Chain A
Amino acid sequence: MLLLSQGLRREATLLLQDAPEVVVQKLIAGRHDPLPAAWLDTLRRIRGVSSARGRLWGYYYDPAIKANYTLMVAPERGLAADEIVVGAALARIRQIGVGDYLSLRAADGRPLSLHIVGVLDSASELLGADLLLLSETGFRQLFQLPPEVYTDAVLTVRNPREASTVAGKIALALPASRPILRAEILRTYDAVFHWREGMVFVALGSLLLAFLILAWDKAAGLSAEEKREIGILKAIGWETGDILRMKLWEGTLLSLTAFLVGYLLAWWQVFHGGARLFAPVLKGWAVLYPDFRLTPAVDLQQILVLLAVTVLPYIVATLIPGWRAAIIDPDAAMRG
């Protein structure tokens, strides 16, 4: 769980490195509203802004597969009005490919038939699983969007360290705007994955508690055979300290081995096995789950914390009964 959410946070951070530094939205009554094209000129005039570009994107619900597509205009692709590029997961689930047609229902109720000219690389699936790229004309036709508005605007700033100052100037110049900084998006992703991680931890809490009780019980109670063995060791010349040292080594080796095997299995499961166990909870809320592999990562601090909460209690749990058994009189062995 920790590995998966850490991997997802890391992946999101890497991907958002290339995201625009500032995104500007228009708000009406606290809700997102199309941004007037005239705002772009105002934004370009603000000191510190090097460029401002209007973006067109939105969501489309496809009742055929009960999934939401993310639609985006990609001017750099030079698509014609009836041409689209689709995400790998979308193509997979709709069983369509290059050369096929995808029919969408426009906002005025008319069907819009779009010619697929490309499928997005599966390497970009984290971002593009449910993505549909189209031309500006196609997008405006589909959603019946007037030509003088955009979904939002993206800005680049001359000095990225001044992004928050620029955001302040935007809020002053355009009071109905909401500037969003890249750092804020990163923080939101981080919080979302932390929140989901926490939710699963709560759900697994009872299971963990049951496991801890079982582990404690197994570790804390010595069997009659173990007590007999400790008695023999005392009788043949071992001191209480020797027995405690042996128990310490035994507990450390056992719990460390179990920890390492468990960690390696979890690591393999998350980074090579597709994290099938927790992926549905952590990966997203869409129907079109992206199929991607996380970049393997190891966090030393996380390992140390896990060690502290698993290995140390086990060692302590084995030492106490070991000590209790080791202080018996050595003549007990002589008496059977």
Chain B
Amino acid sequence: MIALHEVSKVFNQGQPNECRALREVSLRLERGGITVFKGPSGSGKTTLLTLIGCLARPTAGRITLDGRLLSNLPERFLTEVRRHTFGFVFQQFNLIRGLTVLDNVMLPAYPLGKPHRELRDGARALLDRFGLGAKADSRVEWLSGGEAQRTALARALINDPAVLIADEPTANLDSALSREVLALLGELATQGRTVLISSHDPLVFEAVQVDRIIELHDGRMVGDSRC
């Protein structure tokens, strides 16, 4: 379980361009299900996800994961938690050009030092599961938007994380592909993973797979509803 207690995040603190991205947000996220962070652009959705996913530290407040305090962990331990607990799907997919689909999927697991064959088999199994088996050896720049999104999903799952964080996963997809991605995320949630999505796309927060919607505005939590 993830808990946030009065978490704030300030960028460029003390400078003329200081920006308060999050203001005293407190919430508890139970294991499993899909939670959507909804809000207009600049409401703090992405910042909140980066704090939960250990990509950044809060300026104030505490974040715990299964009772373990994360917000004061040194960088090295934070990376360790991030590797094993979280998988990320970025808005721009962030696949590395010049590498194959298979190589991109295996990337997060390289620092863990798993045997290469085991790693490759795991990555191929994930690609097969997402219907990308035939594309495993293609370079990522040749993929369509939907294929790139599914590749990013496979990469996020290679280390078998308990929590999947997806930032605006449908922003670059048409409606049909968006529904396809939501179906995949729903499938992952039913298998016991916690899926956290940031989105301002009605297609996402109106989807049947969504369990909870948290609404943000100007860095504050303004709504929390269960579906």
Chain A nearest CB: distance from B192 CB in Å? 21
Chain A nearest CB: distance from B160 CB in Å? 12
For B155, the chain A residues whose CB sits under 8 A away are 236
B107, A334: Cβ atoms closer than 8 Å: no
B110 at the interface (CB under 8 A from A): yes
| Interface size, B (range) | 20 to 34
Chain B nearest CB: distance from A139 CB in Å? 73
Contacts A229-B96, A330-B56, A334-B49 given; indicate if A237 touches B91 (C-beta within 8 A). Answer: no
A331 at the interface (CB under 8 A from B): yes
A330, B94: Cβ atoms closer than 8 Å: no
Nearest first, the 4 closest Cβ-Cβ pairs linking A and B are: A237-B83, A331-B55, A331-B50, A236-B108
A336 at the interface (CB under 8 A from B): yes
B55, A330: Cβ atoms closer than 8 Å: yes
A217 at the interface (CB under 8 A from B): no
A331, B56: Cβ atoms closer than 8 Å: yes
B175 at the interface (CB under 8 A from A): no
**Chain A interface (Cβ < 8 Å from any Cβ of B):** 225, 228-229, 232-233, 235-240, 242, 329-331, 333-336
B209 at the interface (CB under 8 A from A): no
For B91, the chain A residues whose CB sits under 8 A away are 336
B79, A237: Cβ atoms closer than 8 Å: yes
Cα-based distance from A225 to B96 in the complex (angstroms): 9
Cα-based distance from A238 to B90 in the complex (angstroms): 16
Q: Which residues of chain B in 121-160 are interfacial with respect to chain A, using CB atoms and an 8 Å cutoff?
A: 155, 159
Cα-based distance from A236 to B53 in the complex (angstroms): 10
For B96, the chain A residues whose CB sits under 8 A away are 229, 232
Cα-based distance from A173 to B84 in the complex (angstroms): 92
Query: Could you give 29 example pairs across A and B, Cβ below 8 Å?
Result: A228-B94, A229-B96, A232-B96, A233-B107, A235-B55, A235-B88, A235-B90, A236-B107, A237-B82, A237-B83, A238-B79, A238-B108, A239-B75, A239-B76, A239-B79, A240-B75, A242-B111, A329-B55, A330-B55, A330-B79, A330-B82, A331-B55, A333-B55, A333-B90, A334-B46, A334-B49, A334-B55, A335-B46, A336-B90
A333, B97: Cβ atoms closer than 8 Å: no
For A329, the chain B residues whose CB sits under 8 A away are 55-56
Q: Which residues of chain B in 62-108 are interfacial with respect to chain A, using CB atoms and an 8 Å cutoff?
A: 75-76, 79, 82-83, 88, 90-92, 94, 96-97, 107-108
B167 at the interface (CB under 8 A from A): yes
Cα-based distance from A335 to B92 in the complex (angstroms): 9
Cα-based distance from A333 to B82 in the complex (angstroms): 14
